[in-house]
Every structure is written in C-alpha cells, then in structure tokens.
Amino acid sequence: DIQLTQSPSTLSASVGDRVTITCRASQSISSWVAWYQQKPGKAPKLLIYKASSLESGVPLRFSGSGSATGFTLTISSLQPDDFATYYCQHYNFSSWTFGQGTKVEFK
Amino acid sequence: QLLESGGDLVQPGGSLRLSCAASGFTFSSYAMTWVRQAPGKGLEWVSVISGGGGTTFYADSVRGRFTISRDNSKNTLSLQMSSLTAEDTALYYCAKVSYSSGWSNDCWGQGTLVTVSS
C-alpha cells in the first residue's frame, strides 16, 4: 500500500509568512494528489486537486506542485483564516490515502 | 449538500447503520465515499461506491465488517457497520467524488459521531 508522509507535523508561522508543506509518497503516484484544509469542528475543504489545480473559490495564495513521490502545498502569504490542519490525499482507483496532517499554528 | 445521520453510542461487538442524504447534484452520477476521523486524529478513508452502486471498495481496517450501499431513488448513501470495536470510534463523513477534480472529494457532510464503548 502507498503511504503518504507529511512534513512538518506542526508548523508555527506568522501572518504574512510563506508556508510550505511537503507530502512524500512511498512510491510514484503520478499527479493524483489533492490537498485539504480542516478547521476544528469542521469538515475538510478541498483546496488543490491533481497536484496543482486550484479548486474553484480557493484564494490564489494557495498553490500546489510536484509529481511522482514529492508534492508541496504553498501558502504565499499566510492569512488569519489559514490557521488550520492540512492533509494531502492520493487516489489510486480503488482506495484513497491521506497523509497524517500538518497543523499550522500561530508562532 | 450532504447530511449524515445515524451516529450513536454502541457497545463493542454491536452494529450501526449510518446514512447520508444528498441534495443539490445528480446523486446517481457520482461515486461516494465514507471517511472517518478518530478523536484528535487524522482522516482515514473507509469505503467508496460507484454511482450505480455496482462497484465498492473498502479499507483493510473495515473490510468484512462494513458494507456501503446507496439508494439512488432516494439520494441516500448508507454504511452498515458490524462487529464494532473501540477503534471504530470516530466522526464519520460522507463525501462526493469529483471526477473532474482528479477523483478528489469536493463536497463533504458535517459528520456523524460513532462511539463504541461499554
């Protein structure tokens, strides 16, 4: 089974910071990666799909990149609303796998 | 919109049936998934069913104990859970699969809580 490992597990940042979260796959997974944002008590929200495509309505400060085994989610300028937990996800035609999550907290 | 229901406190070894009512899209045209989140933990994919209901897949952790199904005439997704253990305690979300978004989940319910405890 494919494993997704996110780093870091926790990230301390300030408003205006550029933030990068990494998701590494245990084997090549092409570009079948999505990123989600989850706030406490809320359902996850889709941000990025197919590694780099921005979901409709998601602010342009969010971007995704990568392929094969390495993927990144970047927030170009962290906003107060962005403090949350972020998950990467892979789809492989019969199952979905999530990374363990990265919590972005106030420095 | 997706609205889950059916979560409850159940004893170990017991059974429970979750439901997810869908609206606002052509339900039968989309695969649907269940994803769960144990308290304070990350997201775990549980199961998926095709739009027509003929194809299903399960995570290893629930295969043989959980059954996913759907009633397209009622726009309803279900998850029948049996032989429940404490490890099944979680908030269970239903989510729509978006084919145009790389088979990601573009719509989620608010979740329904399952607690397995004696």
Residue bearing the bigger pLDDT, B103 or B83: B83
The shortest C-alpha distance from B32 to chain A (Å) reads: 12
Whether chain A has a CB inside 8 Å of the CB on B42: the answer is yes
At B32 the pLDDT is 97
Question: What's the longest Cα–Cα distance across chain A?
Answer: 39
CA distances to A39, A48, A54, A55, A74 from A61, rounded to whole Å, are 18, 12, 10, 12, 8
What integer pLDDT is reported at residue A31 of this predicted model?
Answer: 87
| pLDDT of amino acid B15 | 98
Mean pLDDT of the B11-24 span: 98
Instruction: State how far the Cα of B53 lies from the Cα of B70, in Å rounded to an integer.
Output: 6
pLDDT level of residue B101 (50, 70, 90 thresholds):
confident
CA dihedral of residues A13, A14, A18, A24 (deg, nearest 10): 20
Q: Any idea which of A26-30, B13-17, B29-33 has the lowest mean pLDDT?
A: A26-30
Predicted local distance difference test score (pLDDT) of residue B104: 93
Q: What is the pLDDT of residue B96?
A: 97
- Determine whether the interchain pair A95/B57 forms a contact, defined as Cβ–Cβ distance below 8 Å: yes
**Most B CBs within 10 Å: which of A9, A32, A96, as the mutation test of the B interface?**
A96
| pLDDT score of A60 | 98
Interface membership of B40 toward A (CB under 8 Å): no
Q: Is A34 on the interface with B (CB under 8 A)?
A: yes
Query: Mean pLDDT across the stretch B90-95?
Result: 98
pLDDT in tens, chain A (107 residues): 889 999 999 999 999 999 999 999 999 988 889 999 999 999 999 999 999 999 999 999 999 999 889 999 999 999 999 999 999 999 887 899 999 999 999 98
Distance (Å, whole) CA B108 – CA B93: 7
pLDDT of residue B94 exceeding 90 = yes
**Looking at residues B92-114, what average pLDDT do you find?**
95
pLDDT of residue A93: 76
pLDDT of amino acid B59: 96
Chain B residue numbers touching A1 (CB-CB < 8 A): 60
